[in-house]
Structure 1
């Protein structure tokens, strides 16, 4: 069980590093794309897509599984030890997927927290607070005026009637 946890944590770190490297440069994916696609179907030079960077879930799963299947095949062929490694294989795939999504969240938040974006958000928030403060002053003044008008127009009741008496007056009780 301890080795599975170590493999899982290592796979998370591997997924983070893999995603980060592909967000910087996707040369290996571009090479694979040139080998497997005709000239008309090759990706454009401004396309940032990689094996897991900017890929949907299923394609990430396919590429990660393919990578670990090739790695497992090499390890099985090279080492004479026959180990039941399905649980390590599964934890490595899941860990790498989790690591890639953690890295995408971190890179996305880093891009969205640039100085310009933060200044825009701050200005929008400042405008919103100013609108709320202006709206609250008007909202507080209006009910005060309405309460004063209502109290002036209604006759003052000298003694309060009980609920039973009020129902009798309305004819709801005999």
Structure 2
């Protein structure tokens, strides 16, 4: 179990490294693309697609599975000991796949942060200014509701009403 966990964490880092490497340059993918397709069907020079970079889930899974299958076959021929078990193989595939998505998330979030950093800065400054204005209004002025209530009390006509005791006497209850 410990070996599988170590391999899983290593595979996550390996997946992030593969994704980052393909985001920088996709020469190997372009080479295979030129080898497999005719001139009309080859990818455009501006296309950044790679084996893992900008691919769908199933295609990533196929490429990663194929990569580790080749690695396990080579390992079996070089080392006759049964090192590449199914659980380790599955841990490597899932970890690498998870690493590619984690790296994609990090790249996208950093791009959004870089793009929005100036607008976020302005938004924070505006919010701070509005907060200062709000605090100033609270400390310097009385709320308008209190002022309106005072005006109503002052303008209300003062009529002499009988007290509750006098009303009860009038009814004959006291």
The two structures have a TM-score, normalised by structure 1, of 0.72
Indicate the residue corresponding to 1:37 in structure 2: 37
In structure 2, the CA distance between the partners of 1:131 and 1:57, relative to structure 1 (3 Å rule), is farther
Cα RMSD after superposing both structures: 2.9
SS in structure 2 of the partner of residue 17 of structure 1: helix
CA distance in 1, matches of 2:142, 2:93: 62
Residue 122 (1) aligns with residue 132 (2): no
Kept in 1, the 8 Å contact 2:76–2:84? The answer is no
Structure 2: gaps (5+ residues): 159-174
Residue 27 (1) aligns with residue 24 (2): no
CA distance in 2, matches of 1:85, 1:25: 33
- Report the Cα offset of residue 148 of structure 1: 1.6
Structure 1: gaps (5+ residues): 157-174
Indicate the residue corresponding to 2:52 in structure 1: 52
Aligned residues: 155
Indicate the residue corresponding to 2:149 in structure 1: 150
Bigger mean CA offset, 21-30 vs 32-41: 32-41
CA distance in 1, matches of 2:80, 2:136: 80
In structure 2, the CA distance between the partners of 1:6 and 1:129, relative to structure 1 (3 Å rule), is same
The two structures have a TM-score, normalised by structure 2, of 0.72
Tell me which structure has the larger Cα radius of gyration: 2
In structure 2, the CA distance between the partners of 1:84 and 1:111, relative to structure 1 (3 Å rule), is closer
Matches within 5 A, 1:85-96: 85-96=85-96
CA distance in 2, matches of 1:101, 1:4: 20
- Report the Cα offset of residue 131 of structure 1: 4.1
In structure 2, the CA distance between the partners of 1:76 and 1:110, relative to structure 1 (3 Å rule), is same
CA distance in 2, matches of 1:76, 1:128: 62
CA distance in 1, matches of 2:123, 2:32: 45
Indicate the residue corresponding to 2:76 in structure 1: 76
CA distance in 1, matches of 2:140, 2:40: 69
